[in-house]
């Protein structure tokens, strides 16, 4: 018996034939069955893989992804409108200025200095805010009836000169208050260098000693 090979893509089917090339009916039927079997399984073994390897079917093509709608760029006006609350919230604001004069016990304490011309009793315009606050304290406390205004100087010069200078400066302050509407009794005096706050030979110490103090001498309350 010889074998005739019928080739199909990727497989070879070997069919037995009768001697002399004559096919009997049984062999013919076997050939047809084998041929049909190999034809049915041929796609499984093809595709470049080894026989018996299942071919992977390509995945169905997915629908094209939706193109995102482009976002409209924000206008400068919108950016400003959105950032405005933060700017207002974090915006630096000037501090409310505190009063330069406050009533503490029997004294009107001032946070700034009352300045005069050098070796004179003329009040500098830079002292207007401080003196304005002193006047405001007096108006806020009508029970104050008598106010002492005491002048002091630094130790430069003679004691007699310093007493005279401090007295003139205290009188100038009293005159300023009177000219700006203060009607209570004002008593001015000069103590020269008798009550120094410090004794260091420095400009800072001398500036501290040159000062004017406001002392409440009498109060009187009215009403029940």
Q: Domain of 141: which CATH number?
A: 3.30.1330.60
Residue 205 DSSP code: H
Return d(Cα 32, Cα 149) in angstroms, integer. Answer: 137
Residues 106 and 41 in one domain: no
Kindly state whether residues 41 and 129 are assigned to the same domain: no
pLDDT reported for residue 98: 43
46 to each of 11, 60, 173, 200, how far by Cα in Å? Answer: 9, 21, 116, 110
Residue numbers in the chain where pLDDT is lower than 70: 1-98, 223-224
pLDDT of residue 197: 95
pTM of the complete model beyond 0.75: no
Residue ranges making up the domain that contains 14: 2-45
Q: Does residue 95 form part of some domain?
A: no
Cα–Cα distance, 169 to 212 (Å, whole number): 8
- Is residue 184, in this structure, part of any structural domain at all? yes
Domain count, the chain: 2
Answer yes or no: is 94 within a domain: no
Predicted pLDDT at 147:
98
In a domain, 134, yes or no: yes
User: What pLDDT does 216 receive?
Assistant: 98
Q: Is residue 88 part of a domain?
A: no
| Cβ 46 vs Cβ 55: under 8 Å | yes
């Amino acid at each position: 018996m010889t074998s005739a090979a019928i080739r199909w893509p990727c497989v070879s089917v070997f069919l037995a034939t009768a001697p002399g090339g004559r096919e009997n009916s049984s062999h013919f039927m076997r050939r047809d069955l084998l041929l049909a079997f190999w034809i049915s399984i041929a796609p499984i073994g093809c595709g470049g893989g080894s026989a018996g390897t299942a071919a992977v079917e390509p995945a169905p093509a997915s629908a094209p992804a939706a193109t995102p709608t482009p976002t409209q760029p924000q206008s400068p006006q919108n950016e400003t409108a959105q950032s405005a609350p933060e700017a207002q919230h974090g915006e630096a604001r000037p501090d409310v200025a505190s009063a330069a004069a406050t009533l503490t016990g029997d004294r009107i304490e001032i946070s700034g200095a009352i300045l005069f011309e050098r070796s004179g009793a003329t009040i500098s315009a830079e002292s207007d805010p401080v003196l304005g606050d002193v006047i405001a304290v007096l108006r806020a406390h009508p029970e104050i009836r008598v106010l002492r205004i005491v002048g002091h100087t630094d130790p430069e010069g003679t004691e007699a000169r310093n007493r005279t200078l401090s007295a003139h400066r205290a009188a100038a302050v009293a005159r300023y208050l009177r000219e700006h509407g203060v009607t209570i009794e004002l008593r001015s005096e000069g103590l020269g260098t008798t009550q120094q706050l410090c004794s260091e030979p420095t400009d800072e110490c001398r500036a501290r000693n040159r000062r004017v103090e406001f002392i409440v001498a009498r109060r009187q309350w009215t009403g029940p």
